[in-house]
């Protein structure tokens, strides 16, 4: 009788594990327990910068969001120079793909690029290629494949990844993570210290605001 229940339990565990693998089967380097403060960043980007940095900037963003573009071009370079490159902070990007259908595809494309270990190169390429028109075609599937080609990725591999939609659940999970943590617009940032304490910064705020908070939390 006991053996029967153990067998049923094992079958249930196997089914759940199978379903989880079907949903997120892709990234062998995925750490499903990765957490920054109250935020699960398991399905977010790889960590940019020193993984052991005392502070983490968790950015929730959409590739079609113009304010994210503004932050990428006007604030991020100074943060990279003063905090990420110096090992004081690292950065994780988590998709909050809400603005249009191409937002979801673009976010999936970054994870496909991550399969070839070019997540950040592809991420940067998207923000450098952004056109202010939402769903206007700049992030169409054809263009996303073209960007992969320009970055020297294996285009066939990238294309099959994108066409399989295998990262759509991952992007949706990231979007839900943002919503459940109270992010009410893109970009939204959490600065998290090693004790798990965090501060929220909403919007494409200037460097001085980040500097103030980062310096206070170090």
Minimum CB separation from another protein for residue 12, in Å?
34
C-alpha angle 58-62-67 in degrees, rounded to nearest 5: 90
49 or 187: whose CB is closer to another protein? 187
Radius of gyration from C-alpha coordinates of the chain: 19
Residue identified by tokens 């910068």 is 49
Question: Is residue 208 close enough to count as binding another protein by CB under 8 A?
Answer: yes
83: which DSSP letter? I
Cis-peptide into 168, omega within 30 deg: no
Minimum CB separation from another protein for residue 21, in Å?
30
* Residue among 55, 68, 144, 192 that touches another protein (CB under 8 A): 68
Residue identified by tokens 């699960």 is 40
Question: Is residue 66 close enough to count as binding another protein by CB under 8 A?
Answer: yes
176 or 194: whose CB is closer to another protein? 176
Residues 117-146 that bind another protein (CB under 8 A): 132-136
Cβ 141 vs Cβ 106: under 8 Å: no
131: which DSSP letter? -
Provide the token pair at 180.
């459940």
Which of the stretches 26-34, 117-125, 146-154, 196-204 binds another protein when contact is defined by CB under 8 A?
Answer: 196-204
Site string for another protein, 72-91 (x = CB under 8 A): -xx-----------------
Burial label, 17 (beta-carbon count in 10 A; 0-12, 13-18, 19+) = exposed
Q: How far apart are CA 110 and CA 119, in angstroms?
A: 6
Cβ 34 vs Cβ 41: under 8 Å: yes
* Residue among 23, 54, 202, 211 that touches another protein (CB under 8 A): 202
67 or 129: whose CB is closer to another protein? 67
Whole-number Cα distances in Å, 92 to 95, 116, 180:
10, 18, 17
Name which of 191, 106, 109 is nearest 155 in CA terms.
109
Minimum CB separation from another protein for residue 64, in Å?
8
Which of the stretches 84-92, 112-120, 137-145, 195-203 binds another protein when contact is defined by CB under 8 A?
Answer: 195-203
Site string for another protein, 30-59 (x = CB under 8 A): ------------------------------
* Residue among 23, 30, 78, 98 that touches another protein (CB under 8 A): 98
62 or 115: whose CB is closer to another protein? 62
């Amino acid at each position: 009788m006991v053996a029967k229940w153990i067998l049923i339990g094992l079958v249930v565990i196997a089914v759940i594990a199978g379903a989880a693998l079907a949903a997120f089967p892709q990234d062998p380097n995925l750490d499903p327990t990765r957490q920054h403060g109250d935020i699960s960043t398991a399905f977010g980007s790889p960590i940019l910068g020193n993984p052991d940095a005392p502070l983490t900037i968790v950015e929730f963003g959409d590739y079609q969001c113009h304010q994210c573009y503004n932050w990428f071009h006007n604030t991020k370079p100074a943060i990279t120079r003063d905090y990420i490159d110096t090992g004081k902070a690292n950065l994780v990007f988590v998709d909050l793909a809400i603005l249009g259908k191409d937002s979801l595809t673009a976010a999936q494309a970054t994870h496909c690029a991550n399969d070839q270990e070019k997540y950040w190169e592809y991420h940067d390429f998207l923000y450098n290629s952004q056109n202010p028109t939402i769903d206007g075609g700049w992030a169409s599937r054809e263009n996303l494949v073209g960007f992969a080609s320009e970055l020297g990725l294996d285009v066939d591999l990238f294309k099959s990844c994108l066409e399989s939609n295998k990262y759509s659940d991952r992007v949706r999970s990231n979007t839900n993570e943002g919503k459940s943590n109270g992010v009410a617009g893109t970009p939204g940032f959490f600065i998290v210290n090693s004790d798990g304490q965090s501060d929220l910064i909403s919007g494409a705020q200037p460097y001085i605001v980040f500097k103030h908070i980062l310096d206070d939390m170090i």
